[in-house]
A and B are shown apart, each in its own frame.
Chain A
C-alpha cells in the first residue's frame, strides 16, 4: 500500500487502512500534505506544486473567506463575496485538494487522521491551522454567545452578523468592542475595525459612539491610530486602555454587556474579540506548548515538539513576526523551499522574511507597518535598522496612497494564492 493508493482509497471513502510499509513508501515520490487553506497553507501548497513536489492540500471548507479587508465588510463598503475564494486555481497548478476536517496527526506513523476516521499518509507535513477562538477564556462568552455578540475574528458568517447588527442599530446606540491581550491574530486589526466602525457611525449614525475596551495599554501603530482618531473621530470613538480599567473579565450575553475590572458596559451592538490559540488540530497533535501556540525552528519552521511537521502562519510562534496574512504568505514560500530542499537531501535554506501590514483608518486613509526578519538566538528576530511604521508627519496624499496600496496588496495576494 503506497501513499497514493491510500489517498485514493481515502477519497473513495473506504475508511481506515493498513499502515504503509516504509520500504514501499521510500520508493514512491515523496508526498507533502498541507493542512489549512488560508494564506499560509494555500500559498505553501501552491509553492510546493510549482517546485515540482507532489502535494495534497487538506481544507475543511469548499471556499475560503479572507480576514484582511473584512473590516470593510463590517464598515459596509465591501461585500463578503469579494472576500471569498475557491480552490480551483490551486487544482490547476497541480495541487490535489481534499475537503475534509483533519482532526489529529500521528507523527510516528506520519499520518493525518480525519474526523471520520480515515487517514492520509505523508512524508512531510505542513500545518497551517490558523487560530482557534478560546471560548473558555472569558466567563460568559462561549460559542452560543458568539451568535448574539459576534467576534467576527474568523471571516464569514460572523462578519456578516456584525455588519447586520450595526446596520439595524438605531442612531444613538452605543457600540462596545472588547480587545484581548497579546498575542492574537492581526495585531492592528481591532484598531482598524474600531476606526472603520467609527467612520460608519460618523457618516450614518452620528449620535452613536464606539467604546473600545482594551486589555492592553499599548498596541500596533498606536501613535498613528490615535492621532487619526483625534482628528477624524473625536466624538465617535473612545479607547479605554488596561490602566483605565479596559480589561474584559466577563461577558453578560443576556444584558449584552461587557464587564471590566472597573465597571459594566452595555451596548446596542457588542463585538467581543476573545483570546485565541493555535487551531484545534495543533493541540490534538501535541504541537502547541503551554502558551497555546506552536514553537518552531526559526530556519525550517519545523515543530520543536514533533518531527517532520512544519507549522506556519498564525499558529506558529514566529518571534518578532506578527500573526498576519502577509507573514503567513512569506513563511509559506520559505517553508516550501525548505521542504523541497529537505526532500532532495539538501540543507534547508536560511530565511530572510518580510512582513507588511496596512491598516485603514478611513476608507481613503491608510497606514502601514513593515518588518524584515532573520533567525537570531533561536528565534526570528527583527533586522535592526529596518522596518517600522508610516511617518507621523506624512501628508493626506501619502495616507491616500497607502490605502490604494493596501487594496492592491489584497488583490495581488489573493490572486497569486487562489487565482
Chain B
C-alpha cells in the first residue's frame, strides 16, 4: 500500500517537473548569458555547476563595481536585483549548459 503510494507520488512529481521544464519560459535575460558562459572554455568561465547564490553574488558585485571587470560591469548594470536573482536561479537549475 505504502509502496504503491510512493510510486504514484514519484510519478506525479516526475510528470510535474517534466511539464514544468517544457511549459515555462526562462526569466528575461537569462538565455543571453550562455552566449559566452557555456562549455569548457577557461577564459570565459562556464556557469554550469555554479550555485544560484554564487551567480547572484557575482552579478551584484559586478553591478556595484565591488568586483573588477572588463565588461561584465556594463552588462550587470542593465538588470534589477530581482531580475538577477531570477536569472541566477534559472541558470543554476539547468539553464546553464
Binding site for B on A (CB under 8 A): 47, 51-52, 326, 329-330, 333-334, 337, 340-341, 344, 346, 349-354, 356, 368, 370-372, 374, 383, 385-388, 390, 394, 398, 401-402, 404-405, 407-409, 411-413, 415-416
Known pairs A344-B23, A349-B28, A412-B36 / 9 extra A-B pairs, C-beta < 8 Å: A333-B32, A333-B35, A334-B32, A354-B32, A354-B75, A387-B78, A408-B36, A412-B37, A412-B38
Let me know if A349 and B26 touch, CB within 8 A. yes
Known: A326-B35, A349-B28, A351-B28. A370 touches B44 (CB 8 A): no
Q: How long is the Cα–Cα vector from A356 to B76 in the complex, in angstroms?
A: 12
Let me know if B70 and A398 touch, CB within 8 A. yes
Chain B residue contacts of A385, Cβ below 8 A: 77-78
Known: A352-B29, A387-B74, A405-B70. A51 touches B35 (CB 8 A): no
Chain B residue contacts of A387, Cβ below 8 A: 74-75, 77-78
Let me know if A350 and B39 touch, CB within 8 A. no
For A52, give its contact among B22, B32, B74, B75 (CB under 8 Å).
Answer: B22
For B29, give its contact among A354, A368, A390 (CB under 8 Å).
Answer: A354
For A409, give its contact among B29, B36, B79 (CB under 8 Å).
Answer: B36
Main secondary structure of the interface of B (DSSP, over half): loop
Binding site for A on B (CB under 8 A): 22-23, 25-26, 28-29, 31-39, 41, 43-44, 70-71, 74-79, 83, 97
Known: A51-B22, A370-B71. A353 touches B35 (CB 8 A): no
Chain B residue contacts of A351, Cβ below 8 A: 28
Known: A405-B71, A412-B38. A353 touches B32 (CB 8 A): yes
Q: How long is the Cα–Cα vector from A370 to B77 in the complex, in angstroms?
A: 11
Q: How long is the Cα–Cα vector from A409 to B36 in the complex, in angstroms?
A: 6
Closest to A338 in B: B25
Chain A residue contacts of B38, Cβ below 8 A: 412, 416
For A407, give its contact among B43, B70, B77 (CB under 8 Å).
Answer: B43
Let me know if A383 and B31 touch, CB within 8 A. no
Chain A residue contacts of B43, Cβ below 8 A: 404-405, 407-408
Known: A326-B35, A354-B35, A408-B43. A386 touches B23 (CB 8 A): no
Chain B residue contacts of A333, Cβ below 8 A: 31-32, 34-35
Let me know if B78 and A383 touch, CB within 8 A. yes
Q: How long is the Cα–Cα vector from A308 to B22 in the complex, in angstroms?
A: 21
Let me know if A368 and B31 touch, CB within 8 A. no
Chain B residue contacts of A404, Cβ below 8 A: 43
Let me know if A388 and B25 touch, CB within 8 A. no
Chain B residue contacts of A349, Cβ below 8 A: 25-26, 28
Let me know if A374 and B31 touch, CB within 8 A. no
State the Cβ distance, A335 to closest chain B Cβ, in Å: 10
Q: Give me 9 A-to-B residue pairs in the complex whose CB atoms sit less than 8 angstroms apart, sorted by A's number.
A: A329-B35, A351-B28, A352-B78, A370-B74, A371-B78, A372-B77, A386-B77, A408-B36, A411-B41
Known: A333-B32, A353-B29, A405-B70. A416 touches B78 (CB 8 A): no
Let me know if A334 and B44 touch, CB within 8 A. no
Chain B residue contacts of A407, Cβ below 8 A: 43
Known: A330-B32, A350-B28. A372 touches B23 (CB 8 A): no
